[in-house]
Amino acid sequence: MAMDLGAFTPFFHAFRERESITDIMEETCGARLTMNYMVPGGVMADIHPNFQNRVKNFIALYKSKVGEYNEMVTGNVIFQNRMRGVGVLTKEEAISYGCTGPVGRGSGFSCDVRKRYPYDAYSKIEFDEVLQTDGDALSRYMVRIGEMNQSIRIVEQLIENIPEGDFQAKTKAVLKLPKGEFYQRVETARGEFGVYIVSEGATTPYRIKFRSPGYSNLSALDHMARGEKIGDLIATMGSLDLVIPDIDR
């Protein structure tokens, strides 16, 4: 987001922490970017013996460096002036446009799937849903900074509690859903990602649709940008954290 506004330094500082994470994943599954580690039934390979220690080291690294982000970006007067009061979206408007994730929560809309419809281990761990109420680009940024800290809090609770056992359960080669309609959702970095399936009881679904959070968030851009400057459009789009291939799907 800062890079969209012309600030390159924070982007390269963040790469330092990102490299630590990709190093861990490379050691675990052999890939740094296209990891493909999670598969039906579990994960493709057991975790590396160094995994837990390296994750703990990263947690310590993150906590020692997150202050730099706040110093360079959050507390930067130029950044604040570019973001505050820009691309305002009220809570009612966020709900109307189907905005979720940091975009919705930046407008005060409590929509964290992990809290409202817990799945996996989320009902067993403690974390806060980060909300802001101003609904502008700065609020959406502040939600993301808060969620980075909550993610570290979640990892701290889980890293010492990885259960023993098989890393991948056996699954059927062909999955056959009973007749009916099914919808499941998960919380992603950009909001609610949903899968809707209509089944007639055969091996091939009658209909399947993926609900991309980016598509709904993008739909509010025209409303948010009305009457504002072109420079404000860049700030607003950066605060939406758009991934165009995700939207194109």
pLDDT tens, position by position, 133-161:
999 999 999 999 999 999 999 999 999 99
pLDDT (tens digit per residue) in 68-122: 888 899 989 999 999 999 999 999 999 999 999 999 999 999 999 999 999 999 9
Q: What is the DSSP letter of 71?
A: I
Q: Is the pLDDT of residue 181 over 70?
A: yes
Q: Is the pLDDT of residue 247 over 90?
A: no
Cα 40 from Cα 233, distance rounded (Å): 40
Secondary element (H or E) of residue 196: strand 191-199
Cα 136 from Cα 232, distance rounded (Å): 11
43 contact partners, CB below 8 Å, separation of at least 6 = 29, 37, 167, 168
Question: In Å, what is the CA distance from 198 to each residue of 80, 113, 117, 201, 215?
Answer: 46, 22, 21, 9, 21
The full set of domains in the chain, from first to last, is 3-248 (1.10.645.10)
